[in-house]
Structure 1
Amino acid sequence: MSLLHDLITPPLRAALTAIGKRRLPTISGTLKLPGLGSPVEVLRDRWGVPHIYAQSEPDAFMAQGYVHAQDRLWQMELNRRTANGRLSQIFGDLALDTDRAALTFGFRRLGVADWERLDAGLRRAMEAYAAGVNAYLQSPEYRAPVEFTLLGLKPAPWTVEDSMAFSRVMIWQLSHAWYGELLRAWLIEKVGAEHAAELEIDYPRLNPVTLPDGIEFNVRSAKGALHAARGPFLTRSMGSNAWTVAGARTTTGKPYLCNDMHLALGLPGLWYEIQISAGALKVGGVSPPGVPMVLVGHNERVAWGMTLAFTDCEDLFVEQLEDGPAPRTRFGKGWKAVQVIEEAIPVKGRRQPHLERVLVTHHGPIISDVVGASDRRLAVCSMALRPSPALTGWYRLNHARGWDDFVAAMRLIEAPQLNVPYADVDGNIGYWVTGKVPIRKRGDGRTPAPGHSADHEWTGEVPFEAMPHTFNPRRGLVVTTNQKLVSDRYRYALGRVYMNGYRARRIEQVLGAKPKVGPEDFRALHLNFTCLPGQEFVQRLRGFSTRDARAGQALELLCGWDGVLSPDSIGGTVYEITRTRLVRNLLEPGIGKDLSTRLMGQGFHPVLLASHEFYGHDTVAMLRMLDNPKSWWVKQAGGRQAVIERSLIEAIEWLRATLGADASRWQWGRIHRAPFDHPLGMQKPLDRIFSRGPVPVGGDTDTPCQTAVAPENPYDNRSWSPSFRQIVDLSDLTRSTITTVPGQSGRLGSPHYDDFIEPWRKGETHPMLWTRAQVEKELEGKLVLEP
């Protein structure tokens, strides 16, 4: 079969690419767009980025819908099918579990509820956006992307409900705490609370927290924003990086805001770069195809970024359910009714739809069947599954003129839980944690609570003013990399759902090493492969002795390693494989392979929850166990000497079997590669037509350039990577830079289908063109849309 694929793939790829080229959208000329109030100009630069110039915001957002559909229609189709539970209609039984989960969580139902909470301006924007998508579908220039042809699909009209439902998927994908509760419960059932405690998340002492006391507010620089500092915490002070640097510490004397969001790679990419100019609104950055406006970027006065805050905003409840025609669940001394929602899922290849019975308790939906825990009735209670005006928050952020506007926008983002760094042209920097965090009557939310008891309910929320935030911190720097947010002095419980902080420590080391820093320093940080836990691991092995030649070779390579996981590193390769084998050798004797894999980071679903709070903490737990002579896990594995030696031997044997006996060929980039998989690439030979890569990369989960690995495939970069990088220069916005990956267009045959991959791999960015004069110097096409 491989030979047959080799024979048919080149001509098939050439034919489909040629078809794709003939169907590329129009980017120059004049087109009619019924519904516009005035003409709109769309100037595309040589990177394929559209710059929209309109007289009104509705016209601008209609044009945004139009260009999104031109370049990313196939991706938008998948996005709305994911949100609406309709993937099985085109992919059959393969996608049924995803659809069942989407309908259980109720993304479309939540989107409908959210619509009622949008302000009037955003409603007009959403309606205009949908009209723009549909105008493209009805335009004479519309030519279907080749994916639609291969699957025999015709896209239905786009609706505001599609955008709203997709926005809820994005919010849910950033919620992790509930699955950690389930894993913790399984772990305790397996080995007991005492031994499970050894694997509990424990933040490394030397790694920095974002804001030790939760709030720092420099009143001397507040410029009218003092009202935002209400509350009792006015003091001195999981997957992305962001930092803001005050002008006193930069080469320009003005702030910089840098951000690289670590998310799953794929083809098309998650982000679409765009600039919108419409009356008083001028904003540029990245947007997710399927919703209007800019999610992360800057306008004429302020810049913002985004990382995941990992606050604990959800709980699992074990319900005592009485099923039947009118199901109910026990609560306190009585019962509460359970809502029943019947969903019919059309499945390709089946004559009859799959019928899904969704049960929604007063805590939230019963999710047992979709997460593989059918032996108990689990309901998930989550801030991410409540109606939210979050989109209005982002809409106002696009329009923000200063700190007060920024704070007002943050208040509306009730979910997801995000770190949002801030900088403005007046020289201010700041930061706020968004998202509502519950106050629990009892317990800390680490394990599932009894749903029948009224003693574990949420009694309120952490006040918005008390959420961690800072404005013009005295040290002139805010670094947020999903690390622990606050010290234990902070009054409220935000949970223990955070990453291990090694990236934050390294970024602070680099930024603190020079009196003044600038864009070259930031670009270097975006590609920094220093692995601090790897260095700590090697220190623990110095003095370790072995008589086995294989273990000795591994020790020699490790002790000669500089701690940098560059793509050509050999010692780094030995570290990664030894680390993985050592974690497994420590865990598997006690809990088996499956639960070990889950604790190492495997989520319950590759789309709807790819990971959880334990991810990245297996390395920290391993280091802690090696330092603990009484560790139960080490004893189960045969003792410290035996488990280390066995892991070193297994690493060398794996390398010899995989890469050959010549150690000079054991470069990290040969096994650590970033794939850009297209959904149709699941079927050979379409993988070699639509997908790209994999390409060799450096780094791992703990390096500033985070290229995370998945425990089920522990060396390829199949978890997440920098999906976007930006460096915003608040002294001169025209000097800001950006990159996404793999390219602007999702159209096979487009020159912008994959042209960002190699620059991304090298850490290069391109100008974030801001003025019209800049755009016209780099012009690729000018499209005029007329009413």
Structure 2
Amino acid sequence: MRSPSVALLAFLAELAFVSSVPAALSADDLQARARNALAQTAGEISVPGLRRPVKVLRDSWGVAHIYAETQSDLFFTQGFVAAQDRLWQLDLWRRVGEGKLAEVLGPRAVQRDRFARLLRYRGDMNKEFASYAPDGREIIESFVRGVNFFIEFSRDRLPIEFQLTGIKPEPWTPAVCVTRMAGYIMTRNAGMEVARARLIRELGVKTVEELVPTDPYRPLEVPSGLDLEGIDARILANATGAGAASRFDPLDGSNNWVVDGTRTTTGKPLLASDPHRPIMLPSLRYMVHLVGPGWNVIGSGEPALPGVAIGHNERIGWGITIYGIDQQDLYVEETNPDNPDEYRRRGRWVPMRVEREHIKVKGAAQPVEVTLKFTAHGPVIYEDANRHRAYALRWVGSEPGSAGYLASLSVGRARNWKEFERALQRWKVPSLNFVYGDVDGNIGWHVGGLAPVRKGWFGLLPVPGAEGRYEWRGFLRATQLPHSYNPASHFLASANNKLIPPGYRQELGYDFAAPFRYQRIEEVLGAGTRQSEAASVAVGRRVLSEPNDERSFHEPGRDGFHSVPELTQRSEEPIQGRGGTRPYQFMGHRHGFETKEAFHGLAARRDGLAL
């Protein structure tokens, strides 16, 4: 294992910062400088602007427990300690969200910055802040003041990453917390629309329906007037900052469950939340404990945002996994051959909204001017001049209150199921399964997220934008989303799979995860054995493959994906599981995932893209 100092140098080199690192700097020197730059976490700090003294206790894990007498002081301090621990991460998060990465990464980040600026929320900011909580603006402004105070407080002793790169952290504004890039990566399914279109172009509708069926099943129908030629991975390349092909979902996912007191050793509900975020340093999550007027909540959240996204207060606890509401649609706009800034809208040419911005670029003498275009459906993310097309993204992030996870400012203060349900009315991005338990013994499950209403179409493929036949008809009310409270089963669980109650008629999405993880959790929790904390942890660690029930996972040390010739050969190879030795054709989900990826590779190669 590499030492932290060596790993840091490698990371900086990858970001093209290495030219700023002194050549003679040894690992020991780097360690010493890093230690000297650590933030003060003991003693007293004089902070102008605090209304009352605030106490911050660090536990053995380094988690900050913040005790404040006013709400503004509480969130000021959360911003301050988050910056103490994660300023480098916070500064990169800000640059990603604001579209300012090129200032430190150079020309290769310009298109990603342009995309971030396309996604910027351009609506009423008062409505935006109030969407998360009635006091949302006050909380966010307090948090930002705390971040900025630490930046000023540490100007002469910035964290080691800043010292080595020469980068200076910039002050935050409340708008940083509501940038949309973080929420965008947690929404879906424009990438799947492109992937399906590519496969249909190569294989035909019927073959794709058989190889990659939707869940729940819906027939694929290419919209009238949609030309599949030219719909390929380049459309979304700038959405990720790289020219990678759009992919079907890989073999990963999250799990959560809650068991009521009749099935636990304590007689109280037991809740587990297992969100599968990548293992990174620094982590994508940030643990904190917030205690102040109206607040006593502990758990993890996004480092750059106030509040706690997953956790508990004195009365309730909650956990999350992704739920596959389709929150994106890709519109193919017909552009005027004589004026690419016009597009056809209900029988006539209408102007796009055009904005021009300047992006500062590392190493460039002058900023780069970029053009941002918008149709009635949303930002134009790609233009095909040869075919006179523009691809516009309609997504929920254009609505007020759709910055990821910030509605936790309301969720964290709920004290019972009814208040929890009301708080979820504010939750828009990402779409999630919430499991719930409270000190009174109640358990629940509720989907949260903004769900577009489509009439007469399913959002499975890109759609023509000209005639207005494929428009959103508003959004479902939060009370219309699937939910359950104190079920007869005495437990609730989710694993990114399709969870739709019997008789439910709303259309939410069609790209849910395969159910084998959920089925295994359901089997264990439904066995009647009383669950302890240790037993619940053991559920999350199970790796058993059960061929007879079509449950499996990829091989250790391999990504589990194979080429088309390999699939033909391997379909008869045996694999050992608890149910005995069976050939691959019994391993329905695994075989299906591998088939998806094999044909994804076929389409990518036809597009001229390297995997």
TM-score range, shorter chain: 0.7 to 0.9
State whether structure 2 residue 413 is matched by structure 1 residue 434.
no
Question: Would the aligned equivalents of 2:545 and 2:551 in 1 still touch at CA under 8 Å?
Answer: no
Residues 418-454 of structure 1 show CA distances to partners (whole Å, capped at 9, x for unaligned) of 1111111111111111122122233111111110012
Match of 1:409 in 2: 423
1:385 aligned residue (398, 411, 417): 398
Name the SS of the counterpart of 1:420 in structure 2: strand
Cα pair distance change 1:116/1:441, threshold 3 Å: same
With a CA cutoff of 8 Å and minimum separation of 6, indicate the structure with the bigger relative contact order: 1
1:177 aligned residue (181, 185, 189): 189
Residues 247-305 of structure 1 show CA distances to partners (whole Å, capped at 9, x for unaligned) of 11111111011101112332211111110111331110012111111111001101111
The one-letter code matched in structure 1 to 2:135 is G
1:86 is displaced (CA, Å) by: 0.6
The one-letter code matched in structure 2 to 1:307 is T
- In 2, the alpha carbon distance for the partners of 1:31 and 1:590 equals 60
- In 2, the alpha carbon distance for the partners of 1:534 and 1:138 equals 61
Cα pair distance change 1:556/1:328, threshold 3 Å: closer
Question: Would the aligned equivalents of 1:25 and 1:142 in 2 still touch at CA under 8 Å?
Answer: no
- In 2, the alpha carbon distance for the partners of 1:71 and 1:511 equals 38
- In 2, the alpha carbon distance for the partners of 1:141 and 1:40 equals 23
2:211 aligned residue (199, 219, 231): 199
The one-letter code matched in structure 2 to 1:133 is V
Match of 2:94 in 1: 80
State whether structure 2 residue 488 is matched by structure 1 residue 466.
no
Match of 2:272 in 1: 258
- In 1, the alpha carbon distance for the partners of 2:443 and 2:278 equals 29
1:503 is displaced (CA, Å) by: 1.0
The one-letter code matched in structure 2 to 1:32 is S
State whether structure 2 residue 51 is matched by structure 1 residue 37.
yes
Name the SS of the counterpart of 2:325 in structure 1: coil
- In 2, the alpha carbon distance for the partners of 1:404 and 1:471 equals 11
488-497 or 133-142, which moves further after superposition? 133-142
- In 2, the alpha carbon distance for the partners of 1:585 and 1:325 equals 40
Question: Would the aligned equivalents of 1:85 and 1:103 in 2 still touch at CA under 8 Å?
Answer: yes
TM-score, structure 2 as length reference:
0.80
1:473 is displaced (CA, Å) by: 1.1
State whether structure 2 residue 54 is matched by structure 1 residue 46.
no
Calculate percent identity across the aligned residue pairs: 33
Equivalent pairs counted in the alignment come to 538
Question: Would the aligned equivalents of 1:136 and 1:142 in 2 still touch at CA under 8 Å?
Answer: no
State whether structure 2 residue 381 is matched by structure 1 residue 367.
yes
Question: Would the aligned equivalents of 1:58 and 1:128 in 2 still touch at CA under 8 Å?
Answer: yes
Match of 1:334 in 2: 348
Match of 2:527 in 1: 513
- In 1, the alpha carbon distance for the partners of 2:133 and 2:498 equals 34
- In 2, the alpha carbon distance for the partners of 1:295 and 1:27 equals 24
Question: Would the aligned equivalents of 1:92 and 1:348 in 2 still touch at CA under 8 Å?
Answer: yes
Match of 2:322 in 1: 308
Name the SS of the counterpart of 2:331 in structure 1: strand
1:485 is displaced (CA, Å) by: 2.0
Structure 1: where are the runs of 5+ without partners? Answer: 206-237, 539-549, 565-570, 599-711, 713-787
1:118 is displaced (CA, Å) by: 5.1
The one-letter code matched in structure 2 to 1:378 is Y
Question: Would the aligned equivalents of 1:584 and 1:596 in 2 still touch at CA under 8 Å?
Answer: no
- In 2, the alpha carbon distance for the partners of 1:119 and 1:486 equals 29
- In 1, the alpha carbon distance for the partners of 2:360 and 2:515 equals 45
Match of 2:469 in 1: 455
State whether structure 2 residue 199 is matched by structure 1 residue 187.
yes
Cα pair distance change 1:112/1:92, threshold 3 Å: farther
- In 2, the alpha carbon distance for the partners of 1:532 and 1:80 equals 45
Name the SS of the counterpart of 2:45 in structure 1: strand
Cα pair distance change 1:597/1:200, threshold 3 Å: farther
Name the SS of the counterpart of 2:110 in structure 1: helix
Residues 608-629 of structure 1 show CA distances to partners (whole Å, capped at 9, x for unaligned) of xxxxxxxxxxxxxxxxxxxxxx
- In 2, the alpha carbon distance for the partners of 1:396 and 1:448 equals 35
1:532 is displaced (CA, Å) by: 4.2
1:105 aligned residue (119, 122, 140): 119
Alignment RMSD: 3.6
Name the SS of the counterpart of 1:251 in structure 2: coil
Structure number having the greater helix percentage: 1
1:139 is displaced (CA, Å) by: 2.1
Question: Would the aligned equivalents of 1:85 and 1:98 in 2 still touch at CA under 8 Å?
Answer: yes
Residues 528-560 of structure 1 show CA distances to partners (whole Å, capped at 9, x for unaligned) of 22244698499xxxxxxxxxxx99x99999544
1:155 aligned residue (158, 169, 178): 169
Match of 1:648 in 2: none
1:396 aligned residue (394, 410, 419): 410
Cα pair distance change 1:374/1:481, threshold 3 Å: farther
TM-score, structure 1 as length reference:
0.63
- In 1, the alpha carbon distance for the partners of 2:197 and 2:204 equals 10
Cα pair distance change 1:508/1:17, threshold 3 Å: same
Cα pair distance change 1:120/1:591, threshold 3 Å: closer
Cα pair distance change 1:181/1:281, threshold 3 Å: same
Match of 1:138 in 2: 152
